[in-house]
């Protein structure tokens, strides 16, 4: 994001099917899109989740954090899912499909992808964490759980 505008809206995918190589490929692809000047916010882990997607979330999530970011000298901020939702909509328990309208109304951004919308809100949070920009009361409250 540059000056509040999305630089690119890309959902990273891989053709690698076998884990952990698939995790490594996704993490490496993400790293290729990070600039030295970027301020990085990552959606925090969903610790209460159940199912097969949980191991994927942790596998890819830790590879990105440790191998691609920390090992390469980047710092990052973990943003709890509830804070991401609250920052965008005013409520930490907003459903994904309800965030579509909140994001569009607040920033004029739209995408068919939940992942891209989440990334856009994370980029907004990164910007607000490092610039003196006017926030709503609920956005200030959401940021308190992050910093």
Render pLDDT for 116-136 as a digit per residue (tens, 0 to 9): 999 999 999 999 988 888 899
- Structure confidence at residue 51 (pLDDT): 66
Q: Who's near 147: CB < 8 A, 6+ residues apart?
A: 77, 129
Kindly state the average pLDDT of the residues 33-62. Answer: 84
Report whether 60 contacts 93 (CB < 8 A). no
Cβ-proximal residues to 140 (8 Å cutoff; 6+ apart), any chain? none
* Gap between the Cα atoms of 140 and 146, Å rounded: 10
- Name 77's bridge partners: 41
Q: How far apart are CA 34 and CA 48, in angstroms?
A: 29
Q: Look at residue 83 and tell me whether its pLDDT is greater than 90.
A: yes
**What is the rounded average pLDDT for all residues in the chain?**
90
Over residues 25-38, the mean pLDDT reads 92
Q: Is the pLDDT of residue 18 over 60?
A: yes
* pLDDT value at 49 more than 80: no
Predicted confidence at residue 8, as pLDDT, reads 76
Question: pLDDT higher for 58 or 77?
Answer: 77
Contacts of 106 (CB under 8 A, 6+ apart): 88
Q: What is the pTM of this model?
A: 0.89
């Amino acid at each position: 994001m540059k000056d509040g505008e999305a630089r690119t809206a890309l959902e990273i995918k891989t053709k690698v099917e076998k884990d952990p190589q698939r995790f490594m490929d996704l993490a490496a692809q993400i790293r290729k899109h990070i600039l030295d000047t970027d301020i990085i916010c990552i959606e925090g882990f969903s610790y209460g989740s159940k199912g097969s997607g949980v191991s994927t979330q942790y596998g890819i999530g830790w590879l990105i954090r440790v191998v691609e970011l920390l090992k390469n000298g980047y710092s990052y901020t973990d943003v709890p899912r509830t804070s991401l939702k609250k920052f965008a909509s005013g409520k930490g328990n907003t459903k994904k499909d309800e965030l579509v309208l909140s994001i569009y109304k607040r920033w004029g951004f739209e995408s068919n992808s939940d992942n891209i919308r989440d990334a856009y809100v994370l980029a907004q949070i990164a910007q607000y964490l490092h610039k003196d920009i006017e926030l709503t009361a609920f956005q200030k409250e959401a940021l308190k759980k992050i910093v």
